[in-house]
Amino acid sequence: MANSNNREIELTEIAPGSSGVTRAFHALTTALSSNRVFAPIPQQSRHYSQHQISGTHAAINPSAPCQEQTVAIVTTSGSTGNPQGVELSAAQLGAMNDFINSGAVIGATLDAPPRWICALPVTSIAGINVLSRSIAAGTVPVALESVAGGSIFDPDEFSDVVARLTEDPIFVSLVPTQLRRLLNSQRGAHALSQCAAILIGGGPTSTNDFLQAQDLGLNITYTYGMTESAGGCFFSGVAGPDTHYALNPDNSRITLQGPSIALGYRPTETTAFMPFSGSFTTDDYARVDSLGKLEILGRLDDIVLINGVNVSRMAISKIIEDYSAIQSCFVLPNLTALVVPVVTESTDFDGISAEIRAQIALQLGSIAIPTFRIVSHLPTLPNGKLDQLTITNLYG
């Protein structure tokens, strides 16, 4: 791929809330029909520090040339370190759009194009997917004011937005923490039932939430992907169109291939452009379940070695978060489980801790039983993911 120095990389500053979504939608629409490159960068706010913005700017590196096919530069979340800039072509960004917008992702045929609700930051790939899919559908996304920390994610706001959308099929992408808040609200759960498709990504969903969604008959699809694969390219364990994977025989590490794999990483001050050439080896590991579906087990850097035994921190967290009394959890490398309980008058973490320990021992072995530490909250990134770097620095 040849570099082109005359492409205009347009840094688009994105404010929190619906106004930022509107600006990003127009900027991406323009980039897809012109020679510009869409490169969103968050506006400084209480959710985005100057340090984070500087890191995003460095990852985008607007003074460096980009590839001839590049239409968007999207930065990785940086949840475990510094973000990286990823160059995406229009074909890669839109590789899954028709599959999803047509309803095939939920095994349905739609009579009209979907109307997307934007609940995720449009400076990251999940939110940009909503913009791209809306453009492909010929519709305009409806943004929540809570996007990117414009306000606190509110089930009532989500319900009000859904109630106003009565004509087109409603599609929405959420992270697991948003799903849990909606399921725990009567109005939120009802609003979810009015959505034709609900895509959940960005991390594992607790078994408890999964079963509750199943009982409500919600059309939920669990997505797997990352910025380097232009967002979700696996849907409830099944590969998207023309997408393939391989598992490393030694450690089950996932390598992805397909039309959505990005062009590559942006050059930095010290590194050249790093092309992917249609294949990307992730930091995740997986197995194939009894139905032939890909089951994501965690990140390789989540594995800790205890007395010669590999223990998955993500597996421990998932067991803990399966309890309705737990709001969120993060397990440090030293196997300290930082637990945020749901605060109610009847909250008694000590009362269920023995049960949790027994369940961890049953599923993972007694060596995986962590030390528990109650905390009031765990820092998150604006995209809803836990800020693992900050958490480790605070508590590690």
Q: Which of 273, 278, 169 minimizes the C-alpha distance to 230? A: 278
pLDDT at position 344 is 63
Query: Are 334 and 280 in the same domain?
Result: no
* Residue 170 and residue 141 share a domain: yes
**Residue 75 and residue 190 in one domain:** yes
For 39-95, write each residue's pLDDT tens digit. 999 998 877 778 888 989 999 999 999 999 999 999 998 666 689 999 999 999 999
**So what's the pLDDT on residue 7?**
72
Q: Provide the pLDDT confidence category of residue 1 given band limits of 50, 70 and 90.
A: very low
Assess whether 262 and 290 both reside in one domain: yes
Mean pLDDT of 213-222: 96
Question: Is there a contact between 149 and 136 (Cβ–Cβ < 8 Å)?
Answer: no
Is residue 74 within 8 Å of residue 38, measured between CB atoms?
no
More confident position, 174 or 325: 174
What confidence category does residue 3 fall into, taking pLDDT thresholds of 50, 70 and 90?
very low
Instruction: Report if residue 302 sits inside a domain.
Output: no
Residue 173 has pLDDT above 90, yes or no: yes
Report the distance separating Cα 60 and Cα 82, nearest Å. Answer: 12
In this predicted model, what pLDDT tens digit does every residue of 102-144 receive, in sequence order? 999 999 999 999 999 999 999 999 999 999 999 999 999 999 9
> Do the domain assignments include residue 273?
yes
- The per-residue pLDDT for range 322-369, each reduced to its tens digit, is 888 888 899 999 999 999 988 765 567 777 888 999 999 999 999 999
Q: Is 172 helix (H, G, I), strand (E, B) or coil?
A: strand
pLDDT of residue 44: 82
Final residue of a structural domain among 275, 296, 317:
296
CATH number of the domain that residue 320 is part of: 3.30.300.30
pLDDT value, residue 336:
96
Number of domains in the chain: 2
Is 301 a domain residue? no
CATH number at residue 185: 3.40.50.12780
270 domain residue, yes or no: yes
Q: Is residue 311 part of a domain?
A: yes
Task: Judge if 258 and 324 occupy the same domain.
Answer: no
92/160 same-domain check: yes
Query: Residue range 316-325: average pLDDT?
Result: 89
Q: Are 144 and 62 in contact (CB under 8 A)?
A: no
Same domain, 292 and 380: no
Query: Which of 248, 264, 231, 207 is CA-nearest to residue 69?
Result: 264
From residue 244, give the alpha-carbon distance in Å to each of 71, 204, 239, 258. 24, 21, 7, 6
320-to-4, 203, 233, 349, 395 alpha-carbon distances in Å:
50, 15, 28, 11, 18
pLDDT of residue 383: 72
Q: What is the pLDDT of residues 48-63, one digit of tens each?
A: 778 888 989 999 999 9
Q: How far is CA 360 from CA 13, 125, 357, 364, 389, in A?
A: 45, 34, 5, 6, 25
Instruction: Please tell me the distance from the alpha carbon of residue 233 to that of residue 279, in angstroms, as a whole number.
Output: 13
Q: Which of 49, 24, 54, 18 is nearest to 39 (CA)?
A: 24
Q: What DSSP element (H or E) covers 253?
A: strand 253-257
Indicate if 254 and 335 belong to the same structural domain. no
* Separation between Cα atoms, residue 94 and residue 91, nearest integer Å: 5
92 with 229, same domain?
A: yes
193 and 72, same structural domain?
yes
Residue 26 to residue 169: CA distance in whole angstroms: 22
> Do 321 and 235 sit in the same domain of this protein?
no
β-strands 115-118, 220-226: how paired? unpaired
Range of the domain at 90: 3-296
Residue 183's nearest CA partner among 203, 209, 158 is 209
Give pLDDT, residue 79: 60
Note the Cα 395 to chain centre separation in Å: 24
Where does a domain end: 261, 296, 331? 296
Last residue of a domain, one of 242, 267, 296: 296
Residues 222 and 358 occupy one common structural domain: no
Who wins on pLDDT, 312 or 167?
A: 312
pLDDT-based confidence at residue 205 (cuts at 50, 70, 90): confident
